[in-house]
Amino acid sequence: IHGDGWGITFQYGKYATARDRTMFGIDILAMKHPKELKSYNPNYQDARGYFYGKLNSMMVVRPTIGRKHRITEKIRRSGVEVNYVWSIGPSLGLLKPVYLQIGEPSFPYQYVVTERYDPAEHFADNIFGRASWFKGFGEMALYPGAFGRFAFNFEYANDNTGIRALEAGVTMDAYGKKLPQMAVLEGEDYNKQYFLGFYLAVHFGAKSIR
Protein backbone atom coordinates (compact mmCIF):
# COMPACT_ATOMS: atom_id res chain seq x y z
CA ILE A 1 0.00 0.00 0.00
CA HIS A 2 1.15 3.55 -0.70
CA GLY A 3 -0.13 7.06 -0.26
CA ASP A 4 -2.03 7.06 -3.57
CA GLY A 5 -3.27 3.48 -3.77
CA TRP A 6 -2.03 -0.09 -3.67
CA GLY A 7 -0.10 -2.58 -5.77
CA ILE A 8 1.80 -5.84 -5.96
CA THR A 9 5.50 -6.58 -6.32
CA PHE A 10 7.50 -9.61 -7.45
CA GLN A 11 11.18 -9.79 -6.49
CA TYR A 12 14.10 -12.12 -7.05
CA GLY A 13 17.43 -11.73 -5.26
CA LYS A 14 20.84 -13.30 -5.70
CA TYR A 15 23.69 -13.07 -3.22
CA ALA A 16 26.60 -10.96 -4.46
CA THR A 17 28.47 -11.05 -1.12
CA ALA A 18 27.69 -12.40 2.34
CA ARG A 19 25.79 -9.19 3.14
CA ASP A 20 24.61 -7.97 -0.26
CA ARG A 21 22.02 -9.27 -2.67
CA THR A 22 21.37 -8.05 -6.19
CA MET A 23 17.61 -7.60 -6.56
CA PHE A 24 15.46 -7.81 -9.68
CA GLY A 25 11.76 -7.11 -9.60
CA ILE A 26 8.62 -5.66 -11.08
CA ASP A 27 5.96 -3.51 -9.42
CA ILE A 28 2.40 -3.12 -10.72
CA LEU A 29 0.26 -0.55 -8.93
CA ALA A 30 -2.70 1.77 -9.17
CA MET A 31 -1.99 5.48 -8.74
CA LYS A 32 -4.92 7.63 -7.64
CA HIS A 33 -4.87 11.41 -7.83
CA PRO A 34 -5.23 13.22 -4.47
CA LYS A 35 -8.00 15.40 -5.95
CA GLU A 36 -10.23 12.41 -6.68
CA LEU A 37 -13.47 12.87 -4.74
CA LYS A 38 -16.34 10.47 -5.32
CA SER A 39 -19.59 12.08 -6.47
CA TYR A 40 -23.10 10.71 -6.95
CA ASN A 41 -26.07 11.80 -9.00
CA PRO A 42 -28.48 12.93 -6.24
CA ASN A 43 -31.59 12.30 -8.34
CA TYR A 44 -31.16 8.52 -8.79
CA GLN A 45 -30.52 6.16 -5.91
CA ASP A 46 -29.16 3.45 -8.22
CA ALA A 47 -26.56 5.75 -9.84
CA ARG A 48 -22.95 4.59 -9.60
CA GLY A 49 -20.35 6.82 -7.97
CA TYR A 50 -17.84 8.61 -10.17
CA PHE A 51 -14.92 11.02 -9.81
CA TYR A 52 -15.83 14.39 -11.24
CA GLY A 53 -13.03 15.86 -13.33
CA LYS A 54 -11.10 12.59 -13.67
CA LEU A 55 -9.88 12.17 -17.26
CA ASN A 56 -7.78 9.02 -16.97
CA SER A 57 -7.21 6.14 -14.58
CA MET A 58 -3.51 5.53 -13.96
CA MET A 59 -1.51 2.36 -13.50
CA VAL A 60 2.26 2.12 -13.16
CA VAL A 61 4.57 -0.74 -14.14
CA ARG A 62 8.13 -0.60 -12.77
CA PRO A 63 10.81 -3.09 -13.84
CA THR A 64 13.54 -2.64 -11.21
CA ILE A 65 17.11 -3.56 -10.37
CA GLY A 66 18.81 -2.76 -7.10
CA ARG A 67 20.58 -3.94 -3.99
CA LYS A 68 19.65 -5.26 -0.55
CA HIS A 69 22.30 -4.80 2.16
CA ARG A 70 22.09 -6.59 5.50
CA ILE A 71 22.60 -4.21 8.43
CA THR A 72 22.03 -6.64 11.31
CA GLU A 73 21.95 -10.42 11.18
CA LYS A 74 19.17 -12.52 12.69
CA ILE A 75 20.94 -14.24 15.61
CA ARG A 76 17.96 -16.23 16.89
CA ARG A 77 15.16 -17.92 14.94
CA SER A 78 12.74 -15.50 16.59
CA GLY A 79 14.93 -12.50 15.75
CA VAL A 80 14.69 -9.91 12.98
CA GLU A 81 17.13 -9.29 10.15
CA VAL A 82 17.35 -5.61 9.20
CA ASN A 83 18.30 -4.57 5.67
CA TYR A 84 18.27 -1.44 3.61
CA VAL A 85 17.12 -1.64 0.01
CA TRP A 86 17.48 0.61 -3.01
CA SER A 87 16.31 0.10 -6.57
CA ILE A 88 15.96 2.04 -9.79
CA GLY A 89 14.41 1.48 -13.19
CA PRO A 90 11.92 2.75 -15.75
CA SER A 91 8.48 3.87 -14.64
CA LEU A 92 5.83 3.08 -17.23
CA GLY A 93 2.75 5.19 -16.63
CA LEU A 94 -0.36 3.70 -18.27
CA LEU A 95 -3.35 6.04 -18.54
CA LYS A 96 -6.76 4.64 -19.46
CA PRO A 97 -9.52 7.11 -20.42
CA VAL A 98 -12.52 7.37 -18.11
CA TYR A 99 -15.94 6.56 -19.52
CA LEU A 100 -19.17 7.74 -17.90
CA GLN A 101 -22.87 7.02 -18.23
CA ILE A 102 -24.50 10.20 -19.49
CA GLY A 103 -28.20 10.94 -19.11
CA GLU A 104 -30.05 12.18 -22.23
CA PRO A 105 -31.58 14.48 -23.22
CA SER A 106 -31.98 16.27 -19.86
CA PHE A 107 -33.36 15.58 -16.39
CA PRO A 108 -35.42 13.49 -16.03
CA TYR A 109 -33.34 11.32 -18.34
CA GLN A 110 -35.10 9.32 -21.03
CA TYR A 111 -32.09 7.09 -21.67
CA VAL A 112 -28.43 6.70 -20.72
CA VAL A 113 -25.44 6.48 -23.08
CA THR A 114 -21.81 5.62 -22.39
CA GLU A 115 -19.32 8.29 -23.44
CA ARG A 116 -15.70 9.14 -22.82
CA TYR A 117 -15.53 11.92 -20.23
CA ASP A 118 -15.29 15.36 -21.85
CA PRO A 119 -15.09 18.29 -19.39
CA ALA A 120 -16.56 20.59 -22.05
CA GLU A 121 -19.68 18.46 -22.47
CA HIS A 122 -20.24 16.54 -19.23
CA PHE A 123 -21.29 18.15 -15.97
CA ALA A 124 -22.81 17.11 -12.67
CA ASP A 125 -26.34 17.56 -14.01
CA ASN A 126 -25.98 15.08 -16.89
CA ILE A 127 -23.57 12.49 -15.45
CA PHE A 128 -25.58 9.48 -14.32
CA GLY A 129 -22.54 7.54 -13.03
CA ARG A 130 -19.37 5.74 -14.02
CA ALA A 131 -19.21 3.13 -16.75
CA SER A 132 -17.33 -0.17 -16.51
CA TRP A 133 -13.65 0.25 -15.58
CA PHE A 134 -12.73 -1.97 -18.56
CA LYS A 135 -14.33 0.45 -21.02
CA GLY A 136 -11.51 2.26 -22.83
CA PHE A 137 -8.91 -0.38 -21.99
CA GLY A 138 -7.84 -0.57 -25.64
CA GLU A 139 -7.21 3.20 -25.68
CA MET A 140 -4.58 3.12 -22.95
CA ALA A 141 -1.65 5.51 -23.49
CA LEU A 142 1.95 4.97 -22.35
CA TYR A 143 3.99 7.66 -20.58
CA PRO A 144 7.59 6.54 -19.95
CA GLY A 145 9.54 7.84 -16.98
CA ALA A 146 12.07 6.84 -14.32
CA PHE A 147 11.77 5.40 -10.83
CA GLY A 148 13.83 5.19 -7.63
CA ARG A 149 13.25 3.64 -4.21
CA PHE A 150 14.94 3.53 -0.81
CA ALA A 151 13.55 1.42 2.03
CA PHE A 152 14.24 -0.56 5.18
CA ASN A 153 13.38 -4.25 5.15
CA PHE A 154 12.67 -6.27 8.30
CA GLU A 155 12.77 -10.02 7.77
CA TYR A 156 11.31 -12.16 10.57
CA ALA A 157 10.84 -15.70 9.14
CA ASN A 158 11.56 -18.35 11.80
CA ASP A 159 13.26 -20.76 9.39
CA ASN A 160 16.21 -20.56 7.00
CA THR A 161 14.27 -21.18 3.82
CA GLY A 162 11.30 -18.87 4.25
CA ILE A 163 10.86 -15.18 3.62
CA ARG A 164 8.53 -13.14 5.81
CA ALA A 165 9.25 -9.45 5.84
CA LEU A 166 7.86 -5.96 6.26
CA GLU A 167 9.30 -3.17 4.15
CA ALA A 168 8.78 0.56 4.54
CA GLY A 169 10.27 3.20 2.31
CA VAL A 170 10.00 6.13 -0.05
CA THR A 171 9.58 6.14 -3.84
CA MET A 172 9.88 8.69 -6.63
CA ASP A 173 8.38 8.39 -10.11
CA ALA A 174 9.38 11.12 -12.58
CA TYR A 175 8.02 11.71 -16.08
CA GLY A 176 8.93 14.01 -18.96
CA LYS A 177 5.70 15.99 -18.59
CA LYS A 178 2.58 16.19 -16.45
CA LEU A 179 0.32 13.17 -16.69
CA PRO A 180 -3.31 14.13 -17.51
CA GLN A 181 -5.14 12.30 -14.76
CA MET A 182 -7.52 15.21 -14.07
CA ALA A 183 -9.20 17.76 -16.34
CA VAL A 184 -8.11 21.39 -16.15
CA LEU A 185 -11.21 23.05 -14.69
CA GLU A 186 -11.56 26.78 -14.10
CA GLY A 187 -7.91 27.24 -15.01
CA GLU A 188 -6.68 24.90 -12.25
CA ASP A 189 -4.18 22.24 -13.35
CA TYR A 190 -3.61 19.71 -10.55
CA ASN A 191 -1.80 17.16 -12.70
CA LYS A 192 1.66 16.04 -11.62
CA GLN A 193 4.96 15.26 -13.28
CA TYR A 194 6.69 13.95 -10.16
CA PHE A 195 5.16 11.43 -7.77
CA LEU A 196 6.81 11.24 -4.35
CA GLY A 197 5.32 8.64 -2.05
CA PHE A 198 5.74 6.43 0.99
CA TYR A 199 4.81 2.78 1.06
CA LEU A 200 4.49 -0.28 3.28
CA ALA A 201 4.85 -3.76 1.80
CA VAL A 202 4.41 -7.30 3.11
CA HIS A 203 6.78 -9.83 1.53
CA PHE A 204 6.55 -13.59 1.62
CA GLY A 205 8.34 -16.30 -0.33
CA ALA A 206 11.24 -18.73 -0.17
CA LYS A 207 15.01 -18.77 -0.49
CA SER A 208 17.65 -21.38 -1.20
CA ILE A 209 21.43 -21.63 -1.01
CA ARG A 210 23.16 -23.41 -3.89
pLDDT tens-digit map of 32-46: 999 999 999 988 888
DSSP class of residue 138? G
Label residue 182 by pLDDT band (50, 70, 90).
very high
What pTM does this model have?
0.89
Please write the tens of the pLDDT for every residue from 56-88: 999 999 999 999 999 998 877 778 999 999 999
* Whether residue 27 has pLDDT greater than 90: yes
- The helix (run of H) or strand (run of E) holding residue 190 is none
Classify 35 in phi/psi space as left (phi over 0), alpha (psi -120 to 50) or beta: alpha
pLDDT (mean) for 200-208? 92
State residue 9's pLDDT score. Answer: 96
pLDDT, tens digit (0-9, with 9 covering 90-100), for 124-168: 889 999 999 899 999 999 999 999 999 999 999 887 778 899 999
d(CA 198, CA 152) in angstroms, rounded, equals: 12
Cβ–Cβ < 8 Å for 129, 113: no
pLDDT of the residue at 159: 79
Quick one: pLDDT at residue 100?
Answer: 96
- Mean pLDDT is lowest, of 15-19, 78-82, 181-185, for 78-82
pLDDT digits (tens, 9 = 90+) for 112-128: 999 999 999 999 889 99
Greater model confidence, 125 or 176: 176
**Dihedral sign from CA coordinates of 131, 136, 137, 141:** negative
